[in-house]
Structure 1
Amino acid sequence: MKTSTYLVNIIALLSFASAGCAKMEFAKIVDNASLVVPTPSPSPTPPAKLPDHVYSDVVKSGNKQVDFLLVMDDSNSMLPDLKKLAASMSDFMVSLEASQIDWQMCLTTTRPLPDSAGVTHWGMPLTWAQYSPLAGTSPWVLKKGTTNMNSIFTSTVDTLQIGGTGSGDERAIKATYVNFQNVGNGCYRDGAAKSVIIISDEDERSVGGDITKVKAKDNPTAYQPLEAEDQPENLVKLSQSVFGDEVRFTFNSIIVKPGDSVCEMTQDQDTSPSHPGFVYSTMSNLTQGGIGSICDANFATSLNTFKDKIINSLSQINLECAPDLTTLTVAVDGQVIKNYSVSGNVLHFAAPLTEGTQLDMSYDCK
């Protein structure tokens, strides 16, 4: 009986030990020095953002040349103003030559002109009076170096048919538009800047296509809607298409300035009512041109302003858009410069860039 009890106790003890051993766990000892931690793959470097626009070119010698188109309003009320313009033009040309600008000039009017067969054409160049051009130069292309400019301008105005057929429908922008289209007329040289000077005491199509601007004493047909060739934006697009995006184009106006009621009343005392040049001033502002008053005692101040605008236009370039200035980089002959200003999408240099200068730019649009 004692032996049996003893065996039972031995079996129980072994069972307990076996059960205890089954539940035991031993921590694995790890040698940290033997661990190899994988190096994470580097994130790919995103490609650098390219600028929206990159420009690189050499300033051409043609940028020292300016081709002018003078557009005169030859309606009934304009004779005194045209004589005033003629008296100022020769001094204007002398000042241009002093600025070392190689210029030439054509002339047309704000109405269609008849050719030798009596067929009328918009923007047709007129022959200058008392002008003896050099061999190979057309008589309607006035050139730098001409000596008797005062008599040429005065005599040319005297020969105009003031108040001729169709002169009441003033269309300086349309006349310029059609003249630009006819590049075979000899008025324009490749690469030369283009500068239009118009003089009128009314707006495009008299009232600028705005029927509310018609006055009581106006001709019943004073209001005419503006057509595509009368629109300032379309003239800019045509200039870029015909002459190239890089060719400078300024449109300068001698007009009744919008808001100048004193000048308007003065001009209204003539044979027909005047109208402020709203469309013409828009055209001038669009091309960084000058705006002078037709009521000035003489046009010397206005023409000198135009001269400055012309010179400034040789020191600027039209960008594809208004640039983000934080991204704009300008280099001249490989050197980054900062002495420039930006107005809208026009970049103005502090000093004119001469021919042969390398110009490089890059920028993002705003």
Structure 2
Amino acid sequence: MKASILNLALSCVVATLGTACAKMNFAPVPVEDKASIVEPPPSKTISSTEVVAYGNKQVDFLLVLDDSNSMLPELKKLAARMSTFVNSLDASNIDWQMCITTTRGVSSGGTLVFGNPLTWANYVPAAGTPAYLLKKGTANLNTIFTSTIDTLTIGGANSGDERAIKATHDNFKNSSSHACYRAGAAISVIAISDEDERSVGGDPKNVKAKDADGAYQPFEAEDYPQTMVDRAKATFGDDVRFTFSSIIVKPDDKVCEGEQDVDLSPSHFGHTYAEASRLTDGGVGSICDADYSANLNTFKDKIVNSLSSLTLQCEAKPKSLKVKVGGLDVSGLKLDGKVLKFTYPLIEGTQIDLQYDCED
């Protein structure tokens, strides 16, 4: 093509010695229609730097106890075992505090109120600390736990309608009226019950022959695990580190169910509580275990693990993820949705550099 144009140009130069060149039009070489080319959308790449805050080893506990008739033997076990668990927390570097409530609604002004923190018995808190807030470093933990559970009213009005999910939801919702939670702390709920939410899990098919009249009660919005999770985020922020752990009759554990059904009030599988634990990466223990300390220590491990994660801005493409901790490349980390999980506790002040592409 270039040679032809050059020859034509030369011929024109020669022609100018005689006659003029005719005017020539050159059509451009056709190219593919640009409108027909579909460019792939650019990936959204996120680059960020996180510094682990100094509040990350704070853990605020809410202990939710089923105080219905059938629970007396289990609560006696708990009184003996819980102090061992808390003593182990005290020996760790976790800065903990704890509130306690029950699964029943308490009548107030003609309505039932759920989730209000109870006062700890035989507890003399430091000046400025409310009597419902047990804190790290408290002496005589065994006495406090035993005497507090001994003072609970077991059975009676409204106790047969167990609502640990609603109690947790309402405790979060009303957090401005109490001091159970600190800004930036991890929140760990431990619920203990030999039945399910609203006794039979909101399903009339789960009612047993020995159940009291009216054992079935339909779920309200606050009885669903997802509503509780949404409430936690609405109250404490989307990045709240929250686990709901449960000691229950595990779903389909018929041996445990049989042991619990010996009591006057029958037990029920804790399907709803197990689902709440699954949603929040909490632990599930068996209420039939002779020693709850093993369950509680598992929950402690879950709490530590909850301090070993970061919430990303989007679900990342795994192959695009690049992570540096303290300037060093780290690989083999676990992605769970938007949550990046480390295999060790994050240390305060550590810098974490992240780069990743969002999933389409």
TM bucket (normalised to shorter chain) is 0.7 to 0.9
Task: Flag the 1:363–1:94 CA change in 2: closer, same or farther, 3 A.
Answer: farther
Map of 2:359 onto structure 1 = 365
Distance change in 2, residues 1:34/1:213 (3 Å): farther
Partner of 1:180: 172
SS in 2 for 1:63: coil
Match of 2:146 among 150, 154, 160: 154
Structure 1 SS opposite 2:234: helix
Q: Residue in 2 aligned with 1:248?
A: 241
- Measured against aligned partners, the alpha-carbon deviations of 1:103-142 in whole angstroms (never above 9, x if no partner) come to 0000000012357x89752101000000000001000000
Say which of 199, 206, 229 aligns to 1:206: 199
Counterpart of 1:298 in structure 2 is 291
Equivalent residue, structure 2, for 1:355: 348
Secondary structure of the structure 2 residue equivalent to 1:250: strand
Residues 53 and 285 (structure 1), Cα distance of their counterparts in 2 relative to 1, 3 Å cut: farther
Whole-angstrom distance in 2 between the partners of 1:233 and 1:300: 28
Does 2:114 align with 1:122?
yes
- Mark the CA change 1:47 to 1:261 in structure 2 (over 3 Å): closer, same or farther: closer
Alpha-carbon separation, structure 2, partners of 1:345 and 1:208: 30
TM-score, L = length of structure 2: 0.86
Alpha-carbon shift at residue 241 of structure 1 (Å): 1.3
Equivalent residue of 1:57, what SS? Answer: strand
**Number of aligned residues:** 338
- 2:317 and 2:356 in contact (8 A); partners too: no
Q: Separation in 1 of the partners of 2:89 and 2:6?
A: 92
Q: Aligned partners of 1:149, 1:136: CA distance in 2, in Å?
A: 19
Question: 1:99 — aligned with what?
Answer: 92
Q: Which residue of 1 aligns with 2:22?
A: none
| TM-score, length-scaled by structure 1 | 0.84
In the alignment, which residue of structure 2 is the partner of 1:110?
103
Post-superposition CA distance 1:149-202 (Å, at most 9, x none):
001000001000000310000000000000001112000000000000000000
Where in structure 1 are there 5+ consecutive unaligned residues? 1-27
Structure 2 counterparts to residues 21-100 of structure 1, below 5 A:
31=7, 49-51=42-44, 55-100=48-93
Q: Distance in 1 between matches of 2:232 and 2:49?
A: 22
Letter in 1 for 2:358: D
**Contact conserved, 2:106 with 2:158, CA < 8 A, in 1?**
no
Letter in 2 for 1:364: C
Name the CA distance, whole Å, in 1 between partners of 2:30 and 2:47: 38
2:160 corresponds, among 160, 168, 184, to: 168
Structure 1 pair 97–76 and aligned structure 2 pair: CA distance change class (3 A):
same
Distance 1:167 1:321, change over 3 A: farther
Q: 1:49 to 1:97 in 2, by over 3 A?
A: farther
- Partner of 2:16 in structure 1? none
Compare CA radii of gyration and give the structure with the larger one: 1
- What is the CA distance between 1:32 and its match in structure 2? 9.7
Residue 363 (structure 1) shift:
3.3
Relative distance call for 1:329 and 1:90 in structure 2 (3 A) is same
- Please report how far the alpha carbon of residue 318 of structure 1 lies from its aligned counterpart in structure 2 after TM superposition: 3.7
Give 5+ residue unaligned stretches, structure 2.
Answer: 12-27
Give the distance between the partners of 2:166 and 2:276, measured in 1 at CA: 12
